[in-house]
Structure 1
Amino acid sequence: MGTKPVLVVHGGAWAIPDEFAERSILGVKNAVKSGFAVLEMGGSSMKAVEIAVRALEDDTVFDAGHGAVLNADGYVELDAIIMNGKTLAAGAVSCIRNISNLVIFACSVLEKTPYVMLTGMGANQFAEKLGIPQVPVEELVTDHAKAEWEQYRKYNICRKS
């Protein structure tokens, strides 16, 4: 009897607002189905993880890629990391502002460079050389993220007074 693959996906560690609960569950299920389809077609576990994470990054209910949470200054700064469990090799990117599928970029760092992590403007410049698609920052920010940032800003102003 052979072992069957398992793909586990979670949609983040936060208190999911009631208005996002159903969409969040559907989004996680979609990510699992997308990744598992890769495994069923004989694809690698790394590719399955990449595809599952891309599904989360493309879904605005999650805060990776589209739906990005804004930092304290109101900017998008996204991070991603992927690790090969067999070799323990990893690829990571951080402080990225205009790439919607960071997992693709993290995979490229793992597969196409001698580095483990790229960050900031230098990483963005390298992404361009690799042909990683870049998007206008506004495409990544939802109305919900803007409202959350405004709430944070108001609270922070009140705390400083």
Structure 2
Amino acid sequence: MNPLVLVVHGGGASSISRERRERVRQGVLRAAALGYRILRAGGSALDAVEGAVAALEDDPEFNAGCGSVLNANGEVEMDASIMSGKDLSSGAVSAVRCIANPIKLARLVMEKTPHCFLTGQGAAKFAASMGIAEVPEEQLVTERNRKRLEKEKYAQKACCQK
């Protein structure tokens, strides 16, 4: 029997504040443990990946789902993609709003459509047709990311006034 291996990373943040480090580490460990349990129970690699990514999307410490960085208008627009190593099929979504777990929608794109990528309104229509429930945008926005956007807008304004 081959050993089971699952690698989870929490993104490419170049600097995580000291106060967040342990919460981020624990979130990655929880996601990895969930994915590993799925594999141990006989689930597929895709099931494990989807489960682990959904756990990150549900954790406000990560830039996915709840905790997504806000666009310039202060709105959440999310992207997700997934790929099967067996047959190289893939599914992706971009600019999706009000969906707690975009990774689940990306997998549905891969498995239920002839497409590999849906965006914006097309992705929203497909999500509705698949019964993916919408969540209020406020549920996806964190105070940390509101402050981050304010800081970026202030820096941009200050830069442009020079």
Deviations 1:89-124 (A, max 9, x none): 000000011111001000100010000000001211
- Look up the match of 2:70: 70
SS of 1:42's equivalent in the other structure is coil
**In 1: Cα distance, 2:94 partner to 2:64 partner:** 12
> What are the ranges of 5 or more consecutive residues in structure 1 without an aligned counterpart?
none
Deviations 1:53-86 (A, max 9, x none): 0100000000100011102232211000000011
- Look up the match of 2:60: 60
Could you list the runs of 4 or more consecutive aligned residues of structure 1 that deviate by over 6 angstroms after TM superposition?
none
AA aligned to 2:4 is P
- Look up the match of 1:159: 159
**In 1: Cα distance, 2:125 partner to 2:45 partner:** 29
2:129 counterpart of 1:136: no
Percent identity reads 47
SS of 2:12's equivalent in the other structure is coil
**In 2: Cα distance, 1:19 partner to 1:153 partner:** 24
- Look up the match of 1:27: 27
AA aligned to 1:145 is N
**In 2: Cα distance, 1:121 partner to 1:87 partner:** 28
SS of 1:93's equivalent in the other structure is strand
SS of 1:91's equivalent in the other structure is strand
- Look up the match of 1:149: 149
**Residues paired across the two proteins, number:** 160
- Look up the match of 1:3: 2
- Look up the match of 2:39: 39
AA aligned to 1:36 is Y
AA aligned to 1:5 is L
Once the 2 structures are TM-superposed, how far is the Cα of residue 133 of structure 1 from its aligned partner?
1.6
AA aligned to 1:49 is V
Once the 2 structures are TM-superposed, how far is the Cα of residue 16 of structure 1 from its aligned partner?
1.2
AA aligned to 1:142 is T
TM-score (norm 1): 0.97
**In 1: Cα distance, 2:159 partner to 2:78 partner:** 27
2:26 counterpart of 1:13: no
> What are the ranges of 5 or more consecutive residues in structure 2 without an aligned counterpart?
none
**In 1: Cα distance, 2:114 partner to 2:73 partner:** 33
**In 2: Cα distance, 1:117 partner to 1:71 partner:** 21
**In 1: Cα distance, 2:8 partner to 2:133 partner:** 24
